[in-house]
Amino acid sequence: MADYPTLQAFAEDIYTCNRTRCGFCTVECPVFHVKRLETYASRGRMLAARGLLEGVIEPSAELQAVMDDCLMCGYCQARCALNNLDIFASVRQELRAAGFSSPKHEKTAIKILEQGTLFDRPAPFHREGTTPLYLGCAYQTKPHEVRTIVSVLEKVGIDPLVTDEVCCSYIVGAVGFADEFEQAQDRFRQVYGPHLDGEILTVCPTCTATLHGEYHLAAKHALIVVAERLADMRIKPLDMQVTYHDPCHLGRMLGVIEEPRQILRALGIKVVEMEHHGVFSTCCGGGGGLLDVDRNMAIEVSKNRIRDAVAVGAKTIVTACPTCQPTLLRGAGRLANELGYFVDVLDLWELLDKALD
Amino acid sequence: MTDSEKLDAALAELQAFLGERATATPMHRMAYSRDWSPRFRDMTDLPDIVAVPHNTDEVVEIVHVALKYELPVIPFAGGTGMGGGVVAWKGGIMIETKGMNKVLEIDPDNMSVTVQAGITIWELNEHLAPHGLWLPHQPESKRACTVGASIGVDNDSTFGVRYGKILDCLTNIVVVTGRGEAVRMGHRKASFSSTGYNLMHLFVAAEGTLGVVTEATLRVVTLPKTRQVRGWVFPTLIAGARALERTLASGLSVESAHLNCRQRLHFYTHAYREKYHREPEIPDWAESILFLSFAGDEDVVDFGLRKARQILEGEYKGELVREQEMVEGYWDSKHRLDFIAFKQKWPDSQREKKFGSADVGVPMGRLEEMYHAFLEISAKYEQQILGMTVYNESPNKVSPSISFAIFVDDSTEDKVRNFFGYVREMSLKAVELEGTMSTYIGDGDRLGGFNIHEHGLSYEYMKDVKALFDPKNILNPGKKFESRWIEP
């Protein structure tokens, strides 16, 4: 029996899945949907995990590549009550301990640990105000989008305070760098220390889920606050029909499903639902660092999500995530020739800013 | 050539046309090492190679390679089988059929759809819904189960009492036989044919031992506008069955009909108690519960429900279950699949013990006898009872396909073998009662050879059929004529 201490802690979950094989997690997994090979779906990964525990398979670069081909989107976990995502992170952790990890992920972790940010970005955005607003790395690279968000918040009567911030480091933990994730959390607490005891508004779904679930902070997605205040606002209705793509962290993991739809309806927009939405929405392709390690797979997943929209006659997708929007736009671009038209992907904040007086 | 050299050569030939879609990497083989059937904890059956074809031509090529190197070929689909039908216990090439998942034609004028056989029932119905159509063959495993898997094992269907099972939907199939030929068989899009032999029927429940089904044309039906589901309790099992027979004889169109024993009834009352923190008002005398659904236009469904109540409550003294939430809970688990695996508390959890079943069929008049045998045999083998469910799978008939379900202790090989002892004895009892050993799981790696007790001389003809379609015995060997669990 091989010794994998962190994985061993999940042995009962792994054996429970192995003896069951219900397959609820399989066909609709966005990666399996492309690969059509069990190893890429949750129940196949669970058998691979058991193979490691029993010494039937050994750590290898091939296993690491398969494990990296996961969006960590949580679709499988929503269909199951086992700790699927923790198990996958644990397998990655064990693989890394055995010397197998993606150089891209190593580079990302080093960058976050050394520089406190996931992406190179322009001068950090700061704003004096009263309500802490944590932007996160992705939005920090998008000054136009940040100005739009701040504009909307100001219109609904919020005075956002944006100060120095470092990366929430979600990706470091998700891809199996457990020790580094703890270091990153310590630094986050040092930098963001003055605001840790009160409510923090957030705009990135992934940062929100991480600050809430891993740091146990009172992080609240700003769209919830906007939805609460919308009834008192003057709105110029937008005559549109769209479908809404639930970002995995916002919808499935934080349960913020109704609020974005409530906002869209308040803006006069008709919402057509895709087959997979809400808790069972499927990923845009940008989750779990997949874009870094298997860009082709990420794009195929993204194209499939565009196809979901096309299947219900939608030519415009609205979302509320700095990763989902560009990823879906990439998929829409790749699919435009096949479809004969371009499916547009808009950010909900942009529509809010247009419609609010 | 050594076995190892054969495998290397076969893999090289497969990769020449499948590329990365053919692999012998242990992690991929591990992902195909079992299905849902009872196995002891660390039992593993690794295929030698996993291949993911995308069309019939590629399956033909795979079978040619298998013939050349005399390697087993095992078609894998939903992986939810409970009898070991897809377990590669003789090694060989595992064909992952879910790579063949295209809808080839939707033909609403002829109420027909043609698909690659690796599409799941769930995916197919997503394609059909915009056309107002659905495939009424609906196994409980439909999220993972494919059209090909349904053909392969002739599995259950929630709506069997109205629409029958997969064979009632099939009009033709394409099969790659053990000779390496792709053959279309059946009756095109016509509903029946009396020309030639009905070879297509041989492939239903053949478990991939005669060929790999790669395409299927199916009759589909209009999605019903509305549906109502209700439950009634009865003082005996047979009263529930007789009441159902009378309801069908009245001319009513019943969409689904599941009769459950007292233990299964307690499964549902327990789930209700856990969820709603209330005691359901189920009378102590209740020995069975019959769930019926009616579907179609609203006024017809309303009439059907009223008429059914007259019969079930007036003539057979059934009592309507007042807790409709309990009935909806049952329907969530049977049709909507609106639940989260493993989240349920006892008795629906498989964390400690897993489900296992003897899936025998007996004629309606022997139900009580079979049920009492179930109580005795499960006690003899010290199996913890989950309960008995009688599915009805033939249109407009009481047509028992029965799950005698228990919780299997799968912690050791001896305990799993003890479970198969229970299956063996239940199977013999079913045959004694003029029934069959299996109605929806199939022979798998458990009943092959032992099934001679059911088939007698016809078993010898089955061997000839096998030799006709699979002369080198490469297709899913170790099934139908051989068991690793139950001695003949």
The string of pLDDT tens digits covering residues B93-115 is 999 999 999 999 999 999 999 99
B120-156: per-residue pLDDT in tens?
A: 999 999 999 999 999 999 999 999 999 999 999 999 9
B131–chain A Cβ distance below 8 A for any pair: no
Categorize the per-residue pLDDT at B345 as very low, low, confident or very high, splitting at 50, 70 and 90.
very low
B96·A62 Cβ contact <8 A:
no
Residues of chain B in contact with residue A80, where contact means CB-CB under 8 angstroms, are 340-342
A37·B122 Cβ contact <8 A:
no
Chain A nearest-CA distance from B344, in A, is 9
Residues of chain B in contact with residue A48, where contact means CB-CB under 8 angstroms, are 27, 30-31
Pairwise CA distance, residues B423 & B359, whole Å: 9
Q: Is the pLDDT of residue B245 over 90?
A: yes
Q: What percent of chain B has pLDDT over 70?
A: 97
ipTM of the complex, rounded to two decimals: 0.94
Chain A nearest-CA distance from B108, in A, is 18
Pairwise CA distance, residues B174 & B104, whole Å: 13
Pairwise CA distance, residues B261 & B231, whole Å: 13
Chain A nearest-CA distance from B248, in A, is 33
pLDDT for residue B353: 73
Average pLDDT, chain B: 95
| Average pLDDT value for residue range B447-470 | 98
Categorize the per-residue pLDDT at B347 as very low, low, confident or very high, splitting at 50, 70 and 90.
very low
Residues of chain A in contact with residue B77, where contact means CB-CB under 8 angstroms, are none
Of the candidates B82, B91, B115, which has an alpha carbon nearest to the alpha carbon of residue B32?
B91
B284-315: per-residue pLDDT in tens?
A: 999 999 999 999 999 999 999 999 999 999 99
B79·A24 Cβ contact <8 A:
no
Chain B nearest-CA distance from A290, in A, is 20
pLDDT for residue B340: 63
pLDDT for residue B342: 54
Residues of chain A in contact with residue B337, where contact means CB-CB under 8 angstroms, are 24
β-sheet bridge partners, residue B96 = B76
Better pLDDT: B42 or A306? A306
pLDDT for residue B228: 98
Q: What pTM value is reported for the model? A: 0.95
Q: Kindly give the pairing relationship between strand B256-261 and strand B288-296.
A: antiparallel
Residues of chain B in contact with residue A304, where contact means CB-CB under 8 angstroms, are none
B415–chain A Cβ distance below 8 A for any pair: no
For the stretch B337-343, contacts whose Cβ atoms lie closer than 8 Å and that sit 24 or more positions apart, written own/partner, are: B337/A24, B337/B140, B337/B142, B337/B143, B340/A78, B340/A79, B340/A80, B340/A81, B341/A20, B341/A22, B341/A24, B341/A79, B341/A80, B341/A81, B341/A82, B342/A16, B342/A20, B342/A80, B342/A81, B342/A82, B343/A81
List the structure tokens of B320: 């309507």
Residues of chain A in contact with residue B143, where contact means CB-CB under 8 angstroms, are 22-24, 26-28
For residue B242, the tally of other CB atoms under 10 A from its CB is: 18
Residues of chain B in contact with residue A15, where contact means CB-CB under 8 angstroms, are 41
pLDDT for residue B264: 93
β-sheet bridge partners, residue B406 = B356, B385
pLDDT for residue B144: 96
Of the candidates A36, A57, A81, the beta carbon closest to that of B30 is on A57
B126–chain A Cβ distance below 8 A for any pair: yes
Pairwise CA distance, residues B156 & B164, whole Å: 9
pLDDT for residue B346: 38
**Measured between alpha carbons, how far is residue A285 from residues A70, A170, B242, B348 in Å?**
10, 17, 55, 34
| Average pLDDT value for residue range B399-423 | 96
Beta-carbon contacts of residue A79 (< 8 Å; ≥ 6 apart): A24, A25, A28, A280, B340, B341
pLDDT for residue B202: 98
Of the candidates B451, B425, B452, B449, which has an alpha carbon nearest to the alpha carbon of residue B438?
B451
Residues of chain A with pLDDT under 70: 1-2
Q: Is the pLDDT of residue B341 over 90?
A: no
Exposure string (b/e) for B171-209, b if CB count within 10 Å is 16 or more?
bbbbbbbbebebeebbbeeeeeeeeeeebbebbbbbbbb
Which bin fits A286, alpha (ψ -120 to 50), beta or left (φ > 0)?
Answer: alpha
Pairwise CA distance, residues B79 & A27, whole Å: 12
Give the helix/strand (H/E) hosting B29: helix B26-30
Chain A residues within 8 A (CB-CB) of chain B? 12, 15-16, 18-24, 26-28, 36-39, 43-45, 47-48, 50-51, 54, 56-58, 60, 62-63, 66, 78-82, 275, 311
Domains of chain B and any CATH numbers: 3-99 (3.30.43.10), 103-222 (3.30.465.10), 226-336 (3.30.70.3450)
A21·B31 Cβ contact <8 A:
no
**Measured between alpha carbons, how far is residue B120 from residues A325, B126, B135, B137, B290 in Å?**
30, 10, 11, 12, 29
Pairwise CA distance, residues B179 & B177, whole Å: 5
pLDDT for residue B343: 57
